[in-house]
Structure 1
Amino acid sequence: MTVARDHLLRSLAPLPDGAWAMIDEEARTRLAPALAARRVVDFAGPLGWTHSATNLGRTEALAAADGLEARRRRVLPLVEARVPFTVSRQELFDADRGAADRDLGDLARAAHRMAVAENQAIFHGWEEAGVPGIVPASPHPPVPRVPDFEDYPQRVALAVTTLLENGVGGPYALVLGSAAYAKVIETAEHGGYPMWDHVRKILEDGPVVWAPGVHGGVVLSLRGGDFLFESGQDLSVGYDRHEGDAVHLYLEQSFSFRIATPEAAIGLVSASDADADRPA
């Protein structure tokens, strides 16, 4: 998480520097485990708040006359995402005095909501923002699974085999929504062998990643160059306004996402709607 202090208006907030340091650290702590997409796709940036579009390296012809030929460069605009939250001035002042039981629950909620939004955009798409999703873009039929999680290694193996047959090498990552992730962790196969270890071997020692917001699961290659996340302003905390004890802040970022090789991933279908994470 980076801090761009110009347009975020942090200097106008009635908070001391120590409070800002505490808020930034809390945001980092809350965001880091949940930003799953960044762990398995290529990340470029941050390129700054003024960076507005990603070069696609392509053009489109324009109508012209009198022997003139013209083409327009194609770009992908970045999308800005913001989640507001509120902190108590008194709570921050008490923490500055040494209180260990600080209450920053609304910041935790905002961080989770932002992480869920980013994960859902990358893996399932955000049509209005022009963000393609890894699962919808994949040409492979999703791998179904039955409710019994003991068969999950076979499903992961089928997904990996499909990628290999299409010339997509590993290692691979298995990205799972919260419900599926918990099932994989707690399930032991016949004989007591932990499913986690079996799945990791199938993935060629790739990671099993918790991704709140993901529906079911996704197997994708980690070879690089297939999925491209470009960060303008990385996740930062800004100031909106204050009213008495309540200080209204927000988490904000700008980014674009491109898919170079859609066949480098395959979805694993949930057995029921219960496996689909929902925004907080």
Structure 2
Amino acid sequence: MTSILRRSLAPITEKAWAEVDDQATQILKTQLSARRFVDVDGPHGWGLAAVDTGRLQLTDPETTRDVPWGLRAVLPLLEVRLPFVVKQMELDAISRGCKDPDLESLQQAVRQASWFEESAVYYGLPDASIQGLLQVPEREKVSLPEDPLQYPRAVAQAMEILQSNALPGPYCAIFGRKPFFKLMQQPDCSDPPRRLIEEMTGASMRCSPALTDGVVVSAARGHFELTVGQDWSIGYASHDRDDVELYITESFTFRVLEPAAVVELGVDR
């Protein structure tokens, strides 16, 4: 039976599909920073449409016709479908043993798709009823200094806030590309700032393509939940003599269960 991805209908050999999947997986592993500290619930498959919040939205008593009732509050999953085109000749070349196929369109689509998930987690997506980490109204903020040598001090201040809220470690520091690579470019010294941060938090420092500055979070379970229906997959759309249209897809939603478990690291602008 053909699945919703319709991969069996594509003019693509098993070897070429394996290369497409492998390249997509490698990029996703480097880009999806939030999955390192959130609880990932799933994947549950295409059949999952919403997450039960356990809450009830009560109706106006004047409209209940003497029988009170309410609607169960659910958080619907959004579905991503981002198309891209690959040359048929490049896919065929993989089956002939080509080790450097031109799959740039695939790579760009996967990077764009992973940025979308990261952006939803950190900055939210109101149209999908997703509140991001940096949309939490009561979140606290620590100033991120210009000098990357001072980043460990900012992270320590954020950890102090989390500990004062009785939120256990390990903690995780995530930075946007600019501050992350400023840290990476620091010359070797007895106590490089990256090592100090990782020793303090108890976890590897992460870089997110969607973040501008940074955040420090409690990585203990139960604070943040990413619910996945269909995890990132490559599907087939159509083809002609020269081109094959594929797409990358996922269904997911995200919610913050413990607002106090995130501290923003922000540059004063």
Same fold (TM over 0.5): yes
1:17-37 Cα offsets, whole Å, 9 max, x none, are 222222111211121111111
Structure 2 contact 140–262 (Cα < 8 Å) conserved: no
Tell whether 2:15 aligns with 1:18: yes
Aligned to 1:201: 199
Stretch deviating more after TM superposition (11-20 or 180-189): 180-189
The answer to whether 1:121 aligns with 2:120 is yes
Distance 2:170 2:21 in 1: 34
- Which SS does the other structure have where 1:147 is aligned? coil
Residues 153-212 of structure 1, C-alpha deviation per residue, up to 9 Å, x if partnerless? 1111111111111121211000111111111222258x5421111111221x12211211
CA distance in 1, matches of 2:216, 2:145: 17
Cα distance in 2 between the residues matched to 1:87 and 1:236: 16
Distance 2:131 2:180 in 1: 24
Whichever residue aligns with residue 184 of structure 1, its letter is: L
Which residue does 1:64 correspond to in 2? Answer: 64
Corresponding residue for residue 9 of structure 1: 6
CA 184–138 in structure 1, closer or farther in 2 if over 3 Å, else same: farther
Q: Distance in 1 between matches of 2:160 and 2:268?
A: 21
Shift of 1:82: 2.0
Query: Separation in 2 of the partners of 1:150 and 1:122?
Result: 28
Are the structure 2 counterparts of residues 93 and 243 from structure 1 closer, same or farther at C-alpha, using a change threshold of 3 Å? same
Distance in 2 between the 1:148 and 1:140 partners? 24
1:211 counterpart residue number: 208
What is the one-letter code of the residue matched to 2:79? E
- Give the aligned partner of residue 244 of structure 2: 247
Task: Give the drift of 1:50.
Answer: 1.9
Paired position in structure 1 for 2:35: 38
Render the CA deviation track for 1:72-120: whole Å, top value 9, x for unaligned.
2110000111222111111111111111111111111111111111111
Task: Give the counterpart of 2:226 among 226, 229, 234.
Answer: 229
C-alpha distance in 1 between matches for 2:156 and 2:249: 38
Equivalences for 1:246-265 in 2 at 5 Å? 246-265=243-262
Q: Secondary structure at the match of 1:74?
A: strand
Amino acid at match of 1:256: T
Distance 1:135 1:174 in 2: 14
Are 1:94 and 2:100 an aligned pair? Answer: no
Structure 1 residues 158 and 5, CA, compared in 2 at 3 Å: closer, same or farther? farther
Q: Give me the whole-angstrom Cα distance separating, in 1, the residues matched to 2:268 and 2:18.
A: 43
Q: Which amino acid aligns with 2:235?
A: G
Aligned residues of 2:87 and 2:242 also touching (Cα < 8 A):
yes
Unaligned 5+ runs, structure 2 = none
Q: Match of 1:165?
A: 164
Question: What CA distance in whole angstroms lies between the structure 2 residues aligned with 1:138 and 1:14?
Answer: 50
Q: Is contact 1:174–1:218 with CA below 8 Å preserved after alignment?
A: yes
Residue identity opposite 2:196 in structure 1: H
Moved over 4 A (4+): none
Distance 1:266 1:123 in 2: 12
In the alignment, which residue of structure 2 is the partner of 1:85? 84
- Within 2, Cα distance between the matches of 1:199 and 1:61? 47
2-structure distance, mates of 1:99, 1:240? 24
Larger mean CA deviation between 49-58 and 9-18 belongs to 9-18
Matched residue SS, 1:155: helix
- Whether contact under 8 Å (2:148, 2:193) holds in the other structure is no
Task: Read off the aligned partner of 2:44 and give its amino acid letter.
Answer: L
Alignment correspondent of 2:144: 145
TM-score (norm 2): 0.93
Taking only the aligned residue pairs, the percentage that are identical comes to 34
Q: Is the 8 A contact 1:138 1:266 kept in 2?
A: no
